[in-house]
Structure 1
């Protein structure tokens, strides 16, 4: 039974459908109205506004990449933030000291979107206003949104209630309006089946005006991610979660390990690959350059890769620029061959999305807030430019008392400038696109005021420097900054500007690494049908298939593929893939959830956080700055309850069948 009237939030105009590609999902203006379902879905304007409101639930607390107030899960053992009481807020997060107001909006926001989408799926065809093709398109988009919101809930809260397909009849009794959690596998399977239905009617590509709407690839990629999580150790035969039950005592996390889940996840990733729509983005090799866009730094000679073009080698590409420009706004969404799904240039203010994240990374010299940085663990994770692991002791022994780059050594250690510590020399290109080490060059070239003073500056983090240790929040307790998402032109001061950024929600490199990870976990062979049943994949631990997936990601980054001995050993390759994801997907809201699904968080997310000695000034003995020290301000812990987020007490009061996640206080 449908309610006669429903409260809706209608978006002024039809901005999602008629705005420029720069606006994408702009949903800033709202008004309240009461409309009957029949009237809404007999009007094209109201229908589009209704769908736009469904899309709006993918923003704010459901953004993938944004400011810590909205995407705090972007911080694990790799990144930190210092604002919020000089580290006090970070401590609460890292110790699981969540109160009832702690980031719970994603739950209510997601279920609001699920309800909106369900009403549209079940009602739009009744009005007769739209053609069958249009109805199919609207339903596919609404179905995608609904399933994607369930995916976000599953990843954060674990097993959640699947609401009735046709919505809720609010005339029913309180008890009949209460719903228990479904099992983890039931939620993952629902997401999988719904994304298959959506994929059948979603287009393969979108034009610029509709770039933030889902495609077939976006649906299949989300399906692959949900199935990968269901196959991972947290949800696949996890005896530690035997106490996670619904109100009837049903265990919600599978207690029996199933290798076939890995095969299904691999097949789902292969479905995306077989679309033949996506490829890793690469920038052409640059012979000449500027400070903002330097000439290509060619990786060390390698007999297999140096003389071949991408994807077999790096002879024709710039590995540094290929990676950097994915994130810093130099690419329009339509130019990014790697992007599978985006919410678009959707949050260009200082409070929400990628722009906010960028400004918190930027130094105060550029009008930034200098409060987001990297742990020493993440800094050290980047390999050398020949693919060998970073080794601090080896570097200290190699350079001895000559650890700072001298003026006459600058050409030898590009892109380092004079007076930079040589631990940062000869690292892989992704290091220089991501890590704001002490002495890194910030070009900030959009400044038009006092250009000589406010552009092309080395930023040091010694105490006494403007960006060094101070009283307050605007300094980096590890002495290591971050510049992924920062454009070389970005300058929020000096009459400059921060350039718009596109939130990359899902990208092809992630799918390739997921595919290899899932294949690596197999010991048998499985016949798995493709998403549409058109073919059957033979899925097994195929070394060639895994290498084909991983090698382009490595080669695009300017580092060699793994040796055959790594591929031959399941444990070695597992560790290598984890390391690759840590580097390649930094600050893309992956690491936090990866550590949990792998069940690595109790070790990795609880290790002491180290950085450099920020008490040291540039005068005297600056080498002491680079002595690794424990950072008391940024300490962390992990307990079992932190695998999943708690449900707010208000939700537990409303739904008497809803059980709390293990370890968190219940309303009862």
Structure 2
């Protein structure tokens, strides 16, 4: 057997050109030649090789961060304004996915897939490590490889699965071209690989290794892939009959299968049955400060108000329970809800969560004031009693007294004086997520003259410091975003922006996935557990569905759905979609949810509305008249379901076919 030689980066890693040819190139990536035997019999080299695998989960494969890297985090809920008064946003919303930096995730993912594949195959012959150590290394590499395929599937649809044992590098590239696999084949590969990884991954990681995958992370990714396979986009979708490989084989299943929903439900149940995750809750506070206010108790509810969590909210602070998940107050190791994270990797001002936060923050706190929410998202949050928001009812109720007065502050907590009463009495996730006009920014880490640089209300009227201006640093809808912002965050006057952990997968998502999958069943199915040790009997059991959804809503301080909602499949389906829109805001879910549900042609094509940012403080009431926002308009066409394959790849890989609606290389 001849020795294969490869190169390994010991200190730096560079991005590659956008072609799958890079996957097949031996000499393109690494700076020092080493034989496989030498690399994988050295602990240092092995760890460095694995670190390069992990690197491919960063940059353009981050889930949450700056729009240059995670542009799919924006759908009908969030927007960004930088880039020539929203010019970049308009390109994105009109489906120019082949524009400039949008296409880097393809080459980065296949580079990581190659890295991981080499490691999986080469580790078997190592004499340096114990069998258990080899199994763990291979499991981590297998997880990374399957996770990269998951990211590719979600964005590009069916993609080529590269040979398990590598390729013959002596052949010409033309003879090594690979076609797309079907959607089912890619999901089945991800599912089987995550099962193999799960067997050798630990149940938990310690603080030092918190960004490494666990068994739960592998099973949760498997569940997400199976949920997408069951969803309308990939389950009996005649609209995608023209998405074929080079031999004319349909890549999207044309026959609907209810059993796919059962498999997705069972996969989510596998995660639940690990019994190591739970929804995070913060204790109720009797005393508080502006930065961490006293718990605002939800309106009295006969079922939930007098019971402790998860049956009720008597012992928790719903606002803080949700806010602390994302703003850096909760360390990764303290978060029982977090299933997978990249830790604090690339959460800086260029890439990840801190970058997102900085773009949301007002300029007075050293932010850039250019990421916000649509009026659709703002209005989606329910009232404190769980009833839908209704603008007409609120206007009729308060009439000419729509602004909070100083003598009404106790009645309308947490609002401050001169705030529009549409923002009053909303559910706790609203206050943790929405930077409405007049919201309080505490910015309390400022140490230089804190009396003048903390606890400021920010209004978005024209003429105000954060209002409409020439340039990018203003919010075209007049609505900002508070999620991910720590109440202490301040980049000026001696303050700091606190580190934040990217939560890639969390337990609330798994619970909602489980409920969604069960809701789609009309029959009962016996599905083996992930390890074959038992069977899941899954059906549309409303008690099981309520047990999954109820705690998510109760943690948020809103009542569980009443039984008529659970009994009505269509009504519950819409309720679950609504719940995901609120609970998972800004977590790179909405964009893909709308596509897998096939709701994007309507939801993503609707006119974007906001408040009238041309209005000054002197005519403040007119500011809150909903208007169409010309700078943020959008459209949707069939091609926007999947991202295009770059022409360089199409030119090199003769068997690659383009996604429907996109131009093929000729």
- Aligned partners of 2:235, 2:301: CA distance in 1, in Å? 41
- Aligned partners of 1:177, 1:9: CA distance in 2, in Å? 25
Which residue of the partner structure matches residue 437 of structure 1?
Answer: 436
Q: How does 1:164-175 map to 2 (within 5 A)?
A: 164-175=163-174
Q: How does 1:626-641 map to 2 (within 5 A)?
A: 626-641=624-639
Q: How does 1:200-211 map to 2 (within 5 A)?
A: 200-211=199-210
Q: How does 1:365-380 map to 2 (within 5 A)?
A: 365-380=364-379
Q: Which runs of 5+ in 1 are unaligned?
A: 14-29
- Aligned partners of 1:594, 1:66: CA distance in 2, in Å? 18
Taking structure 1 as reference, are residues 489 and 247 closer, same or farther at Cα in structure 2, changes over 3 Å only?
A: same
Which residue of the partner structure matches residue 142 of structure 2?
Answer: 143
Shift of 1:459: 0.2
- Aligned partners of 2:267, 2:65: CA distance in 1, in Å? 28
* 2:65–2:347 CA contact under 8 A, matched in 1: no
Q: How does 1:212-611 map to 2 (within 5 A)?
A: 212-611=211-610
* 1:3–1:170 CA contact under 8 A, matched in 2: no
Shift of 1:3: 7.0
Q: Which moved more, 1:339-348 or 1:601-610?
A: 339-348
Q: Which runs of 5+ in 2 are unaligned?
A: 14-28
* 1:433–1:484 CA contact under 8 A, matched in 2: yes
Shift of 1:98: 3.5
Tell me, yes or no, if structure 1 residue 96 matches structure 2 residue 91: no
Which residue of the partner structure matches residue 5 of structure 1?
Answer: 5
Shift of 1:127: 2.7
- Aligned partners of 1:545, 1:665: CA distance in 2, in Å? 46
- Aligned partners of 2:378, 2:163: CA distance in 1, in Å? 47
Shift of 1:344: 0.2
Shift of 1:166: 1.1
What is the DSSP-based 3-state SS (H/G/I as helix, E as strand, rest coil) of the residue aligned with 2:100? Answer: coil
**What's the TM-score, normalizing by structure 1?**
0.96
Which residue of the partner structure matches residue 658 of structure 2?
Answer: 660
Q: CA RMSD for the aligned pairs?
A: 1.2
* 1:434–1:483 CA contact under 8 A, matched in 2: yes
* 1:100–1:649 CA contact under 8 A, matched in 2: no
Which residue of the partner structure matches residue 184 of structure 1?
Answer: 183
* 2:97–2:103 CA contact under 8 A, matched in 1: no
**What's the TM-score, normalizing by structure 2?**
0.97
Q: Which moved more, 1:170-179 or 1:399-408?
A: 170-179
What is the DSSP-based 3-state SS (H/G/I as helix, E as strand, rest coil) of the residue aligned with 1:657? Answer: coil
- Aligned partners of 1:382, 1:525: CA distance in 2, in Å? 34
Q: Find runs of 4+ consecutive structure 1 residues off by over 4 angstroms.
A: none
* 1:12–1:49 CA contact under 8 A, matched in 2: no
- Aligned partners of 2:2, 2:335: CA distance in 1, in Å? 43
- Aligned partners of 1:2, 1:651: CA distance in 2, in Å? 30
- Aligned partners of 1:31, 1:122: CA distance in 2, in Å? 18
- Aligned partners of 2:32, 2:347: CA distance in 1, in Å? 28
Which residue of the partner structure matches residue 25 of structure 2?
Answer: none
- Aligned partners of 2:3, 2:405: CA distance in 1, in Å? 75
Q: Deviations over 1:310-347 (max 9, x none)?
A: 00100000000000000000010000000000000111
Shift of 1:103: 1.2
Q: Deviations over 1:601-636 (max 9, x none)?
A: 0000110000000000001x2100000000000000
Q: Deviations over 1:140-189 (max 9, x none)?
A: 00000000000000000000000000122221123321000000010000
- Aligned partners of 1:239, 1:289: CA distance in 2, in Å? 56
* 1:11–1:31 CA contact under 8 A, matched in 2: no
- Aligned partners of 1:81, 1:496: CA distance in 2, in Å? 25
Q: Deviations over 1:271-295 (max 9, x none)?
A: 0000000000000000010000000
- Aligned partners of 1:100, 1:493: CA distance in 2, in Å? 35
Shift of 1:560: 0.2
Tell me, yes or no, if structure 1 residue 648 matches structure 2 residue 646: yes
How many pairs align?
651
Q: Which moved more, 1:447-456 or 1:621-630?
A: 447-456
What is the DSSP-based 3-state SS (H/G/I as helix, E as strand, rest coil) of the residue aligned with 2:9? Answer: strand
Shift of 1:2: 7.5
* 2:354–2:497 CA contact under 8 A, matched in 1: yes
What is the DSSP-based 3-state SS (H/G/I as helix, E as strand, rest coil) of the residue aligned with 1:104? Answer: helix
* 2:347–2:502 CA contact under 8 A, matched in 1: no
- Aligned partners of 2:368, 2:438: CA distance in 1, in Å? 18
Which residue of the partner structure matches residue 16 of structure 1?
Answer: none
Which residue of the partner structure matches residue 27 of structure 1?
Answer: none
Which residue of the partner structure matches residue 26 of structure 1?
Answer: none
Which residue of the partner structure matches residue 18 of structure 2?
Answer: none
Which residue of the partner structure matches residue 120 of structure 1?
Answer: 119
Tell me, yes or no, if structure 1 residue 622 matches structure 2 residue 620: yes
Taking structure 1 as reference, are residues 99 and 267 closer, same or farther at Cα in structure 2, changes over 3 Å only?
A: closer
Shift of 1:102: 4.1
- Aligned partners of 2:159, 2:643: CA distance in 1, in Å? 11
- Aligned partners of 2:175, 2:142: CA distance in 1, in Å? 25
- Aligned partners of 2:646, 2:6: CA distance in 1, in Å? 25
Q: Deviations over 1:177-222 (max 9, x none)?
A: 1000000010000000000000000000010000000000000000
